Amino acid sequence: MRILLSLVLTCLITNTRADVPIITNGKAMAIIVTSDRPSQVASYAANELALHIEKATGIRLRIAKESESSRAASHLFIGDCEASRAAGIDVKQLTPEAFVLRAQGNDLFIVGDDKNDDPLDADTRAGTLWGAYEWLDRAVHARWLWPGEGGTFVQKTTSIVAIDVNETVPMKLFQRKIRPGLGMESEHPAMGFTKAAFEQYSRDQTVFLRRHRMGRSFPMGYGHAFTDWWQKYGNEHPEWFQLREDGKRGPKKSTSRFSMCVSNPEFRQQLVTNWKAKGGKFINACENDILGTCTCALCQGLDGPAPADYLTYYSPSSKMVGSRFVSDRYAHFWLNVQQLAAKTDPDATVIGYVYFNYFQAPTSGVKLNPNILLGFCPSGGFFPRSDAEHAWMKQQWSGWRDTGARLFLRTNHLLDGYCMPYIFVHQFADEFQHAARNGMVATDFDSLTGQWSTQGPTLYVASRLHVKPEASVDDLLAEYYNAFGKAAPDVKRYFDYWESYTATHRESLAKSFEELQASRWRSFAKAAHAIFSLECFAPADAILDEAAKAVANDSEASARIEFLKLGLAHAMLCVRVASQLTIAQPTATKEQTKALLEELIAFRRANERKGIANFNQLAWVEDLSWKLSDETKQAPDLYP
């Protein structure tokens, strides 16, 4: 009896399992089907599926409209359509950007919440596209290491089966954002991309970011909120603005930055009045790009006691030195604005930045709530950090989290490193994951510098964590390294070398940057040579030579090693130029270094279509770091 029952059960299980054959022994078994009038997102997703399946198998699946689709052995239904509705998938029931993966009978459904708009626009909800990428991740181990064809890895195979699945997958973060860094302009454009190369770079990077599911569930506006308030309200209401040490209100000079008198009740009310007139769910209450400096009694009365370690982790030249700790006054300000707005809309959400002298977690015991959304924006805190500083940084996240506010990561640390092999992936991932485990709802990283060939592991993991925040960082790195085939252990060794180099040079970097007055994000090229001596490149170069030998018979992996080698050669060249042209070295003349600069520009022209780096970003940094010739003010196409 028991045997019979188990046989029956086995049959039932066998009958209900729905593994769907897509490609069998090099033969197409499925067609890709969209609705007769697919959304732009669904059409794009269908193409992305066909493209990656072809890359894995050599077989291009046919894409058909639903009414034209002849009966194939199996179907990949992409996006909302008659068949998905008949299968009971109701896209209106999905949370924003969520998707359903379901195998049923001989069909696989990938259906999500989409907005019918440009699939490459970060504001287009693209659940179906996210579903396609999730499925490609599982079925062919699709990995997007860097933008463009060379950075796209899929596992080669002759058969693909969509295994039985029935999942509804919501987005873990309602905004996933690494600012693309495509708008950088230099006074010396010859150092950057030609126009055509920039267009290709931009397109490839945009596609890449969407493949990592960058985007958001709804539009959300924020940023330094009061920059035009002095002009608008300064005459009539100077009392809304910072009270200065000299007893006057407002900016010191008409062009100076200023902060607000955030304790002023009429100022708070005006902010809410303006929001009501404009509408929407979000109230932008991010202080201007400056410390909170109001010295009035009401503001100071809201301040909590300064923590003992308040200034421990700031450099001697930081604007923070000598500042007053004002986190609690801002917490009270956001809370009060939220309470005022709640009279109109209980769901209204106030957005603030925790930044400068209102970055460290409050100390007065003030309690906030989830309708206050705070961007975690440390000034300083670049990677790598000492263990103590890193722990301190995570404590600030936890401290704000304990107020009851919702938080998003809004850091500037990815702007660091110029084009150097500057790797801090483990510490970066640890901070991201600490945030993810402790209530992070969104990200906004400023910005992607696009140094794919020298900083690949950090950028890959930063992108990948947006999809898999809970994954082990070493597993994610293994995904990256495994795309180098038999050279995977060498490539791991190569980047471990640089991560260790970066970590061990933490203190000398801080010292050199102080001495040469270089900024981590604006003028790294002023001091790059002080950290990355030409000698430090030799062992790394040797590892890549070994890696190249290991994959001599694997053209795809060889090309990836070549990509890393180009990045390293470019970094070395930039170090040579930096040592000659840095504005920190007053004796350098542009005549002396003309040949060297031309070598760098020629290198960039020769390699600008390979996606090794965003040269426009570098040109912007170099503009602020180097003594450049007037010739480089020409467009790159016109440069001799």
Name the site residues for Zn ion (rule: CB under 5 A).
Answer: 261, 263, 294, 296, 299
Close Cβ partners of 246 (under 8 Å, ≥ 6 residues apart): none
Does residue 176 contact residue 133 with C-beta atoms inside 8 Å?
A: no
CB nearer to Zn ion: give 236 or 470: 236
Instruction: Please identify, using beta-carbon distances, which residue of 197 and 299 lies nearer to Zn ion.
Output: 299
User: Would you say 170 or 238 has its CB closer to Zn ion?
Assistant: 238
CB 516, min distance to Zn ion, A: 38
Maximum Cα–Cα distance across the chain: 95
Q: Which 3 state secondary structure label does DSSP give 111?
A: strand
Instruction: Please report how close the Cβ of residue 352 comes to Zn ion at its closest, in angstroms.
Output: 16
The SS3 of residue 612 is: coil
| Cβ neighbours of 32 (radius 10 Å) | 24
Question: Looking at beta carbons only, is 300 or 369 nearer to Zn ion?
Answer: 300
State whether residue 31 is helix, strand or coil: strand
Query: In terms of CB distance, is 261 or 409 closer to Zn ion?
Result: 261
Q: Residue ranges of the alpha helices (H) in 583-638?
A: 594-607, 615-623
Least Å distance between CB 410 and Zn ion? 25
Between CA 615 and CA 438 the distance in angstroms is 37
Strand partners, 101: 110, 167
Q: In whole angstroms, how close is the CB of 296 to Zn ion at the nearest point? A: 3
Residue 302 C-beta: closest distance to Zn ion, Å: 9
**Distance in angstroms (rounded) separating the CA atoms of residues 237 and 241:** 8
Whichever of 219 and 301 has its CB closer to Zn ion, that residue is 301
Nearest distance, CB of residue 227 and Zn ion, angstroms: 18
Minimum distance from CB of 300 to Zn ion (Å)? 8
| Nearer to Zn ion (CB atom), residue 57 or residue 323 | 323
Task: Give one DSSP letter per residue of 365-380, joined into a string.
Answer: -----TTEEEEE--SS
Contacting residues for 540 by C-beta, under 8 A, at least 6 apart? 421, 494, 497, 498, 568
Angstrom distance (rounded) from CA 263 to CA 239: 10
CB of 266 to Zn ion, least distance (A): 12
CA distance between the termini of the chain: 89
294/518 with CB nearer Zn ion:
294
Angle at which helices 534-550 and 555-581 cross, to 10°: 170
Contact 126, 111 (CB under 8 A): no
**Closest distance between Zn ion and the C-beta of residue 261, in Å?**
3
Query: Is the Cβ of residue 165 or residue 299 nearer to Zn ion in the bound state?
Result: 299
Instruction: Please say which residue, 154 or 294, places its beta carbon nearer to Zn ion.
Output: 294
**Shortest Cβ 301–Zn ion spacing (Å):** 9
Residue 475, number of CB atoms within 10 A of its CB: 10
CB 170 within 8 A of CB 95: yes
Written as six digits, the tokens of 635 are 């467009």
Q: What is the DSSP letter of 88?
A: T
Which amino acid, 72?
A
